[in-house]
C-alpha cells in the first residue's frame, strides 16, 4: 500500500496505508516487525461526541483484543477505547493525552494513541480490514448509516 | 412477561457509599444482573470529581477546613458539590442494549428523566447539549460512563442548591473569577423543590415504560456486594483519587489560565500574561462581563471592560487592539480560552 494514500469519503478523510477494526473504528498501522501504532478514525471520533479527555494504559500493559486500553470522555460520557489486537503497550502518545483535540485534528498522524508489540502479528492482523477497496466500502457504508440515523451531520 | 427493571433505593448514605453503591451495581449489571434504576441521597456534603478531571480543580484547603471529602467517580463531567438537598439517581443497563453511539445513548437515557420531571410539574426540556433545563437554567447534573460491560447514566434531583458552597469548593485564585462564577451559578443552575417521593415514582414509571421493562424492587446481589467491598477501598486510595487525567496547567513564562464551566457553553476564565490579568464571563460565545488589569492601561481599564461586553469571544483581540500594548497582553491572556472545552 502507498504510505501516503488518502481519500476523502463522504467528507471524511480515509487513510489507506493501514488496517481497520470495523466495529470500533480503530486503525492499526504496522511500523516494524511485530510493532504497530493504533488510533481512531475520524468517523469513530465524530460519533463519540465532543471529545474532552483521553487516558491511556501505561507502557507494559497487556492488550487483549476487544478489551480497553484506555478511556475516552466525550459529552461527560466516559467509555472504553477497545483494542483491536492483543499484545502489549510499548508507547503512549502523551501529546494526545495532554490535548485530546489532537486526535480529532490529526487522527491519522499526530493523534495516534498507543504503540503496541504483537506476539503473532500475522494472526492479530488477519481479522482486520486490510484491502483498500473493502476499507473504502466499509467506511462509506458506516458514514451513510450514521447520517441516516442522524448521528452525524449530512 | 417483560424483563425486570430492578429498582433499588439506597436511602441516605455517607459520601463514600453514595458513590460506591451504584458503581457496584455497574459491575453487577456487567455480570448479568438486570437493568437497574437506583437512588441515593448523600447524608452529608462532599465533593465529587469526574473520572478524567485534574484534582487541582478542587480547592483542597477549603474542603479540608470544611470537612468535605473529595471522591472521584468513574463517569464523566467536572467537580460537583453534593449534599442532602440532592437525590442522586442512576440508570444502569447492559452496554449491548444501548446505542453504541454515545451521544445518542446519553439522550435516550436522559429522556425518561425529563419525562419524570414533567410528570411532577417541572416543565423540563432536554436541550441541544443534552442538559436537562428549565428555561435558561440547568436543573439536573449528569454524567455517564461504561463500567465493565454496563452503561450507567447518573443525574440528580436538586431540591435545594447551595450556590455559594458549590462555587467555593472549586479552585480559583482570582476573586473576580470567583464572583463571576457564583453569579453564573445563580443564574444558570436552579433547584426544583418537588416532592422527592413523587419524583422517584415518576422516574420508575418513565424508565420502565421507555425501556419496556417491569419495575421490581430489588437489592444488591453477591457480585455487587463483593464489588462494593473492593470499591470502598479503591475510592479512598490516593492512586484512584489522583486520577488518570491530563496534567494541569504548568507555571511558566507563557499565559496561565483557569477556566470554569458552569453549564454547557457557559463559563468563566481567569488568565494572566506578562502582568496583564483577565477575568471574564462567557455565555454562548459572547463576553458577558470582564474584569481587566494591566499596569499600562492608565485608567482605561473600565473603558476596556465596557468595550468587551456583548462582544463575541472571537472578536476580543480586535477590540483590545485599540488599547495598545496592554491590549495586546490582555488579548494574549484571553487567547488561552478553550471554548471547545466548555
The C-alpha atoms of residue B159 and residue B190 are separated, in whole angstroms, by 9
pLDDT digits (tens, 9 = 90+) for B129-187: 999 999 999 999 999 999 999 999 999 999 999 999 999 999 999 999 999 999 999 99
Do residues B257 and B270 make contact, with C-beta atoms less than 8 angstroms apart?
Answer: yes
ipTM over 0.95: no
pLDDT digits (tens, 9 = 90+) for B330-340: 999 999 988 77
Do residues A29 and A18 make contact, with C-beta atoms less than 8 angstroms apart?
Answer: yes
Residues B12-26 have a mean pLDDT of 98
| Domain ranges, ordered by start, for chain A | 6-145
* Cα angle: B41, vertex B151, B193; to 5 degrees: 30
Q: What is the pLDDT of residue A1?
A: 47
Q: Report the greatest alpha carbon distance in chain B.
A: 77
- Among residues A47, A31, A20, which one has the least CA distance to residue A145? A47
Q: What is the pLDDT of residue A5?
A: 83
pLDDT digits (tens, 9 = 90+) for A132-141: 999 999 999 9
Question: Could you identify the residue written with the cell 458513590?
Answer: B19
A71 touches chain B (CB under 8 A): yes
pLDDT, mean over chain A? 93
Q: Answer whether B246 sits within 8 Å of A97, measured CB to CB.
A: yes
Q: Please, what CATH class does the domain formed by B4-159+194-242 belong to? A: alpha beta
Q: Contacts of residue B246 in chain A, CB cutoff 8 Å?
A: 53-54, 97-100
Q: Answer whether B106 sits within 8 Å of A76, measured CB to CB.
A: yes
Q: Is A10 left (phi over 0), alpha (psi -120 to 50) or beta?
A: left
The C-alpha atoms of residue B190 and residue B208 are separated, in whole angstroms, by 27
Do residues B72 and B243 make contact, with C-beta atoms less than 8 angstroms apart?
Answer: yes
The C-alpha atoms of residue B169 and residue B61 are separated, in whole angstroms, by 9
Sign of torsion, CA B79 B40 B131 B124?
Answer: negative
Q: Answer whether A79 sits within 8 Å of B340, measured CB to CB.
A: no
A50 touches chain B (CB under 8 A): yes
Residue A82 C-alpha, separation from nearest chain B C-alpha, in angstroms: 12
Query: In B95-181, where do the E strands start and end?
Result: 125-126, 132-134, 137-140, 142-147, 150-158
How is domain B256-341 classified at the CATH fold level?
Enolase-like; domain 1 (3.30.390)
How is domain A6-145 classified at the CATH fold level?
OB fold (Dihydrolipoamide Acetyltransferase, E2P) (2.40.50)
Question: Could you identify the residue written with the cell 494572566?
Answer: B272
pLDDT digits (tens, 9 = 90+) for A79-123: 999 999 999 999 999 999 999 999 999 999 999 999 999 989 999
Residue B252 C-alpha, separation from nearest chain A C-alpha, in angstroms: 17
Do residues B103 and B286 make contact, with C-beta atoms less than 8 angstroms apart?
Answer: no
The C-alpha atoms of residue B207 and residue A102 are separated, in whole angstroms, by 37
Q: Which part of chain B has CATH 3.30.390.50?
A: 256-341
Q: What is the pLDDT of residue A150?
A: 79
Q: What is the CA radius of gyration of chain B?
A: 22
pLDDT at B1 over 90: no
B142 touches chain A (CB under 8 A): yes
Q: Contacts of residue A52 in chain B, CB cutoff 8 Å?
A: 52, 76, 341
pLDDT at A2 over 60: no
Cell of B228: 462494593
The C-alpha atoms of residue B180 and residue B316 are separated, in whole angstroms, by 18
Q: What is the pLDDT of residue B254?
A: 61
**With bands split at pLDDT 50, 70 and 90, how would you rate the model's confidence at B267?**
very high
A55 touches chain B (CB under 8 A): yes
pLDDT digits (tens, 9 = 90+) for B222-263: 999 999 999 999 999 999 999 996 555 554 556 678 999 999
Residue B218 C-alpha, separation from nearest chain A C-alpha, in angstroms: 26
Q: Which part of chain B has CATH 3.30.930.10?
A: 4-159+194-242
The phi and psi torsions of B202 (rounded to 5 degrees) equal -65, -35
Q: Is B130 left (phi over 0), alpha (psi -120 to 50) or beta?
A: left
Q: What is the pLDDT of residue A4?
A: 56
Look up the pTM and report it: 0.93
Percent of chain A residues topping a pLDDT of 90: 85
Residue B76: Cβ-neighbour burial (10 angstroms; 0-12, 13-18, 19+):
buried
Q: What is the pLDDT of residue B255?
A: 63
Amino acid at each position: 500500500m502507498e504510505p501516503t494514500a488518502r481519500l476523502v469519503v463522504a467528507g471524511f478523510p480515509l487513510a489507506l496505508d493501514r488496517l481497520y477494526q470495523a466495529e470500533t473504528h480503530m486503525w492499526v498501522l504496522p511500523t516494524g516487525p511485530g510493532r504497530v501504532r493504533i488510533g481512531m478514525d475520524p468517523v469513530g471520533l465524530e460519533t463519540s461526541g465532543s471529545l474532552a479527555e483521553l487516558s491511556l494504559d501505561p507502557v507494559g500493559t497487556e492488550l487483549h483484543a476487544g478489551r480497553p486500553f484506555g478511556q475516552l470522555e466525550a459529552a461527560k460520557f466516559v467509555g472504553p477505547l477497545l483494542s483491536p489486537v492483543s499484545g502489549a503497550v510499548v508507547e503512549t502518545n502523551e501529546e494526545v493525552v495532554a490535548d485530546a483535540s489532537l486526535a480529532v485534528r490529526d487522527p491519522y498522524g499526530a493523534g495516534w494513541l498507543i504503540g503496541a508489540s504483537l506476539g503473532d502479528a500475522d494472526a492479530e492482523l488477519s481479522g482486520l480490514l486490510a484491502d483498500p477497496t473493502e476499507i473504502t466500502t466499509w467506511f462509506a457504508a458506516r458514514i451513510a448509516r450514521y447520517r441516516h440515523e442522524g448521528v452525524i451531520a449530512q | 412477561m417483560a424483563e425486570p427493571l430492578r429498582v433499588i433505593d439506597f436511602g441516605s448514605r455517607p459520601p463514600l457509599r453514595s458513590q460506591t453503591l451504584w458503581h457496584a451495581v455497574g459491575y453487577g449489571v456487567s455480570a448479568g444482573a438486570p437493568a437497574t434504576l437506583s437512588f441515593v441521597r448523600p447524608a452529608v456534603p462532599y465533593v465529587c470529581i469526574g473520572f478524567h478531571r485534574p484534582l487541582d480543580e478542587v480547592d483542597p484547603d477549603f474542603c479540608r477546613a470544611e470537612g468535605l471529602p473529595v471522591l472521584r467517580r468513574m463517569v464523566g463531567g467536572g467537580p460537583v458539590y453534593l449534599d442532602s438537598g440532592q437525590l442522586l439517581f442512576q440508570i444502569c443497563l447492559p452496554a449491548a442494549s444501548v446505542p453504541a453511539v454515545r451521544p445518542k445513548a446519553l439522550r435516550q437515557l436522559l429522556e425518561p428523566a425529563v419525562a419524570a420531571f414533567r410528570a411532577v410539574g417541572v416543565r423540563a426540556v432536554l436541550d441541544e447539549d443534552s442538559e436537562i433545563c428549565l428555561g435558561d437554567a440547568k436543573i439536573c447534573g449528569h454524567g455517564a460512563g461504561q463500567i465493565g460491560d454496563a452503561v450507567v447514566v447518573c443525574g440528580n434531583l436538586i431540591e435545594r442548591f447551595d450556590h455559594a458552597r458549590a462555587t467555593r469548593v472549586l479552585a480559583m485564585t482570582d476573586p473576580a473569577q470567583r464572583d463571576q462564577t457564583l453569579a453564573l451559578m445563580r443564574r444558570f443552575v436552579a433547584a426544583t423543590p418537588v416532592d422527592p417521593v413523587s419524583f422517584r415514582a415518576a422516574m420508575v414509571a418513565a424508565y420502565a415504560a421507555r425501556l419496556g421493562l417491569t419495575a421490581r424492587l430489588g437489592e444488591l446481589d453477591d457480585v455487587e456486594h463483593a464489588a462494593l467491598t473492593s470499591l470502598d477501598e479503591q475510592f479512598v486510595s490516593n492512586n484512584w483519587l489522583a486520577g488518570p487525567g491530563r496534567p494541569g496547567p504548568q507555571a511558566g513564562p507563557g499565559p496561565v489560565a483557569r477556566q470554569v464551566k458552569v453549564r454547557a457553553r457557559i463559563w468563566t476564565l481567569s488568565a494572566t500574561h506578562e502582568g496583564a490579568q483577565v477575568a471574564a464571563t462567557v455565555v454562548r460565545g459572547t463576553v458577558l462581563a470582564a474584569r481587566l488589569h494591566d499596569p499600562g492601561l492608565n485608567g482605561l481599564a473600565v473603558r476596556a471592560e465596557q468595550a468587551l461586553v456583548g462582544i463575541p469571544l472571537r472578536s476580543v483581540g480586535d477590540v483590545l487592539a485599540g488599547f495598545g500594548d496592554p491590549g495586546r497582553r490582555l488579548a494574549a491572556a484571553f487567547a488561552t480560552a478553550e471554548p471547545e472545552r466548555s
